[in-house]
Amino acid sequence: MIKTYFYNHSEQRMEHDVNLEELDKLLQSPDDLLWIDLYDVGGDELQYIAKLFNFHPLAIEDCLHISPRAKVDRYDDYYFFVVHALRYNEESDDEITTSELNIFLGPNYLVTIHRHRLQPIGRLAAICLKSVDYMNKGADYLLYSIVDGITDEYFPIMDRLSIRVDELEDEMFGQDLEEIIDEFLALKRTLILIRRVILPQRRIFAITNGQFQFPVQEENIPYFIDLMDHLERLTDSTETFRDLVNGALETYSSFATAKTNEIMRLLTIISTIVLPLSFVTGIFGMNVVIPYAETAWSLWVILGGMLLMTLGMIFWFKRKGWI
């Protein structure tokens, strides 16, 4: 599905579903802005748009295949962006999934391509049907609005992950080892994927040598600085959560190790007590003639000696602080 939104600067109004065969006319004025949104399109529709704008085949190839990392490529008269939106479903096996968004940024046009429905794109498109607010500040501002909408959806995910980290820290000493380890590993995988998405996007919009990697109008620079601040906060949050998860996992591992050592210590003490008793019973259980074996009080003497040995060892272990 191809949707078009055209801002006519001279008349200060929006037009929709314009005729793309008149592309030269639509892009004639540098103050006008054309936004083309391609949602779940086939190869023929994508090639049609590529032919109209003379997009590079490598950029089109990236649109046809899933790109795991965000990036920006510079071509002769346009820039090609790959960014990712995040979908979070705690009940699914894959808690975090990504939705790729490809963007072509030209002097007075913007082309967005995505396979899945993206709420930030939908909200922005609905506003552009009635208002010129997002279209009258240039293509770079429209780019900012789209990426900022995607970035804002990261924060509720980070808030939920923060709650999950706190819950795991509170519950980790009362759950089974296998269950708590699975929870921690799932959370670590989620954080790694989020970090893998955020870090490249932060590099795209970072200021290098005093300028952005793509042209930004002077009046729109504060918006991109704010976007960069959001990405920095998200990066810091992922680093903090990763450290918290690693620390909690190490604490739980230490606790499990200490618990295992306590059990082994108790078993060792029991074995130490039983060992001499087994030695005594082994001697008197031999199939040979034992002195005083015929007397009635010999059994009680042996049992009394074994009891004294046991009590003596328990007293000694307590004195040493072993039990």
Q: The domain spanning residue 138 has which CATH number?
A: 3.30.460.20
Say whether pLDDT at 79 is over 90: yes
Task: Spell out the long-range contacts of 54-59 with Cβ–Cβ below 8 A and sequence spacing 24 or more.
Answer: 55/80, 55/104, 56/80, 59/102, 59/104
| Same-domain pairing of 220 and 275 | no
| Same-domain pairing of 232 and 88 | yes
Q: What is the pLDDT of residues 216-225, one digit of tens each?
A: 888 999 999 9
Task: Give 317 or 53, the one with higher predicted confidence.
Answer: 53
Say whether pLDDT at 78 is over 80: yes
Sheet (strand 71-74) strand order:
13-16, 2-8, 33-39, 109-114, 96-105, 79-88, 71-74
What's the CA gap between 235 and 62, in Å, rounded?
A: 26
DSSP E strand stretches across the chain: 2-8, 13-16, 33-39, 71-74, 79-88, 96-105, 109-114
**Residue that finishes a domain, picked among 228, 256, 284:** 256
Task: Give 92 or 121, the one with higher predicted confidence.
Answer: 121
Selection from 38, 181, 186 nearest residue 118 by Cα: 38
The single residue listed with the structure tokens 């996992």 is: 249
Say whether pLDDT at 82 is over 90: yes
Output the pLDDT for position 22: 83
Asked if residue 205 lies in contact with residue 147, where contact means CB atoms within 8 angstroms, the answer is yes
Q: What is the pLDDT of residues 199-211, one digit of tens each?
A: 888 888 888 777 8
What's the CA gap between 127 and 112, in Å, rounded?
A: 16
Q: What is the mean pLDDT of residues 284-301?
A: 72
Q: What is the pLDDT of residues 142-198, one digit of tens each?
A: 999 999 999 998 888 888 888 887 777 777 666 666 677 777 788 888 888 888 888
Residues 6+ apart with CB under 8 A from 310: 273, 277
**Residue that finishes a domain, picked among 239, 256, 273:** 256
Output the pLDDT for position 118: 87
Say whether pLDDT at 284 is over 80: no
Q: What is the mean pLDDT of residues 6-14?
A: 84
Q: What percent of the chain has pLDDT over 90?
A: 14
What's the CA gap between 311 and 323, in Å, rounded?
A: 13
pLDDT band of residue 128 (cuts 50, 70, 90) is confident
What's the CA gap between 9 and 121, in Å, rounded?
A: 22
| Same-domain pairing of 244 and 301 | no
The tokens of 284 are what?
């008197």
| Same-domain pairing of 289 and 306 | yes
The boundaries of the domain holding residue 72 are 2-256
Say whether pLDDT at 240 is over 90: no
| Same-domain pairing of 51 and 143 | yes
Q: What is the mean pLDDT of residues 8-15?
A: 83
Residues 6+ apart with CB under 8 A from 160: 88, 90
Task: Give 173 or 228, the one with higher predicted confidence.
Answer: 228
| Same-domain pairing of 297 and 224 | no
The tokens of 223 are what?
């918006």
Domain count across the chain: 2
What's the CA gap between 65 and 63, in Å, rounded?
A: 6
pLDDT band of residue 93 (cuts 50, 70, 90) is low
Task: Give 75 or 41, the one with higher predicted confidence.
Answer: 75
| Same-domain pairing of 252 and 262 | no
The whole-chain average pLDDT of the chain stands at: 83
Say whether pLDDT at 317 is over 80: no
| Same-domain pairing of 210 and 269 | no
Say whether pLDDT at 299 is over 80: no
CA distances to 17, 109, 140, 229, 258 from 222, in Å: 32, 21, 12, 10, 53
| Same-domain pairing of 164 and 177 | yes
**Residue that finishes a domain, picked among 226, 256, 286:** 256
Say whether pLDDT at 297 is over 80: no
| Same-domain pairing of 196 and 212 | yes
Asked if residue 112 lies in contact with residue 35, where contact means CB atoms within 8 angstroms, the answer is yes
Say whether pLDDT at 257 is over 80: no
Output the pLDDT for position 146: 92
Say whether pLDDT at 91 is over 80: no
| Backbone angles phi and psi of 4, in degrees to 5 | -125, 140
| Same-domain pairing of 244 and 271 | no
Q: What is the mean pLDDT of residues 283-292?
A: 70
pTM metric for this prediction? 0.76
Output the pLDDT for position 1: 80
| Same-domain pairing of 85 and 224 | yes
What's the CA gap between 173 and 181, in Å, rounded?
A: 11
Output the pLDDT for position 293: 65
CATH number of the structural domain spanning residue 284 = 1.20.58.340
